[in-house]
Chains A and B, each alone.
Chain A
């Protein structure tokens, strides 16, 4: 019922078409990922001797030895990593509607569990996990009955989603029983434990501590018709899914029977002197939004925490470089850029009544976004460059690619802020700055726009080509940004945005 209500809240034909296109693109991505294995086999069969062919052959050999292979490990590793981070960041506890908005309906208490389960499944993270698992299934089934392999990996998806919701409500229960400190202790122990395990493991987690290879072996046997070997893995997935759902329901029930943890009066942890110059004062206000709003801060910190070890552990592989060139601007764009005015929320009425602020705010918000990307990029790429993991030539290519990707992503995100502002609550854990369905749509568009441009620049063969591409991207985005600024200068557009976010 809540999903039906949410769908009715997607107003306008364009928005509905956008959601439908997003879902269609998701299925397209699933189809492409389901055929990655065929692609690798085709590349290897051609045997042209280029690096891609060699990589494909190496992959097939490692698979025939019973190893999961680097692509597969990356896919499985990213599923596990997102499951952990989603739980820790509280996203697994997100809901379609804030509980206070449902007081009049009085739904059954346990709707909260299924609400978070659905949100998690259709969130960017949930869809990403499904796509990654599909790719994993395809990579592990280069020959034989692929459907059997995919069945096993798809059985893992509900298990992972149920696990995330279980952990989120587990933390929720722990908070209600033992207080807020416990959550921080749990998070610290989990992060430190994972870091220590990665450090001590001889393969630095690339084989998922030895669990990846038996898993891959079981799937391969299933594709070859040896169902008795694969049945335990499939059964285990189904049983664990059931166990996680039952435990999750129990924990949710137990948590909701207890009173909610009272939110302590928010306070500023430091006193930042606001500049007397209007443009700097506005910049400081926007930076404070980023720093003090968990929904914005956490994804950015997550990238800052995960990306440098990923570059070190993969020894600066092309896959890691391409992923991060697309991910860093994407993370900042989704966390802040796509709904800047929504995050400011009720404060927009106040800002709109101040002289010259409406004129400045879009440019300042974009500058803040680009600055965050720049700082994050230096933090991610600086240490590997200093320690020689990536050479200076590669670092220059990465810088050019990140710049191109950032410009396109930032402009696109700013256009979404102006065109589709959302009224949001971002004061509690698990709150998101855009609705779950919209975030899928935006992710696809930002990846296909900014992310792909960055990856293309990175893979261009020579430096002059890269520089020319970056210059063209800079010119194009400047032109488009000037158009956006002119659109934003209209007072009717500004008042529409204020009305949408400050209600």
Chain B
């Protein structure tokens, strides 16, 4: 089914995340340098790159946490340069940040309740319980997250993001420190989001998992977008070699 057909049947725009010449700078440091990307509803896109490539900065901008320095960023039809539209865009985005993302002195129950309250979606508690069971966190519902292992914290962050992803799901390093069962559960929710017409962007260093779960892959290096293509291009040993070549800085 083409993107236009999807728009006609779902009533959603054919592109839900549109990034055009996006630049993000932290004082003198240019973290993201004029990249352009699009993600359609139901598309799962992998964002790959070495450390400091600018992946997390890009995802934070799409989630509405960081403002773009220049360029155009439209999420779910809302212009992220307009402060009023950013709040509306946040309503449609579920975001799992790369580090932290949880209040140390609050429990998963409180995180979920607050997340749903902020978005006026308290009717989603049954789905929240399902996700907690699927990610094996139901037993820790009333434990403070400061005592969570890294993997448990990652799982809860994924749950919070999935629960609130109306149109866009952003998962920054969702497999980091997660055991195989947790990784499988994450892959399942990504598949469910895809089936539900949600645009998914995943950032990870685990190439095999990204290839397995994504339709397309974009590679960033030193803030620039150096390659975009179907995920199959990065599968197998030849895909690994290609990826490693892309990560090498130009001579």
Contact = CB atoms under 8 A, between A and B. Distances in A.
Contacts of B90: 353-356
A246 B85 CA distance: 64
Given A265-B147, A353-B63, A292 B117 contact: no
B12 to A, nearest CB: 19
B79 interface: no
Contacts of A275: 117
A276 B116 CA distance: 8
Contact of A352 (B26, B65, B105): B65
A178 interface: no
A498 interface: yes
A309 interface: no
Contacts of B65: 349, 352-353, 495, 498
Contacts of B109: 271, 274
B135 to A, nearest CB: 17
Interface stretch (A29-37, A183-191, A340-348, A478-486): A340-348
Nearest to B109: A271
B105 A289 contact: yes
Interface in B77-121: 83, 86-88, 90-91, 93, 95, 97, 99-107, 109-111, 113-120
A492 B25 CA distance: 11
Given A288-B105, A350-B101, A427-B104, A491 B110 contact: no
A462 interface: no
Interface stretch (B138-146, B198-206, B237-245): B138-146
B66 interface: yes
Nearest to A352: B65
A268 B142 contact: yes
B122 interface: yes
Nearest to B164: A354
Contact of B95 (A353, A427, A489): A353
Most buried by B among A264, A351, A352, A354: A354
B64 A274 contact: no
Nearest to A273: B113
16 contacts: A265-B143, A272-B110, A278-B120, A280-B117, A288-B110, A289-B103, A345-B103, A347-B102, A349-B97, A349-B99, A349-B101, A350-B100, A353-B93, A355-B118, A356-B87, A492-B67
Interface of A: 263-268, 271-278, 280-282, 284-285, 288-289, 292-293, 344-347, 349-357, 359, 426-427, 489, 491-492, 495, 498-499, 502-503
Closest 6 CB pairs of A and B: A346-B100, A347-B103, A274-B113, A266-B144, A281-B117, A292-B105
Interface of B: 26, 60, 63-67, 83, 86-88, 90-91, 93, 95, 97, 99-107, 109-111, 113-120, 122, 142-144, 146-147, 157, 160
Given A349-B100, A502-B101, 20 more contacts: A266-B146, A267-B143, A274-B117, A277-B117, A285-B103, A288-B105, A288-B110, A292-B105, A293-B104, A345-B104, A347-B103, A349-B99, A350-B160, A353-B95, A354-B119, A355-B87, A489-B83, A495-B65, A502-B97, A503-B99
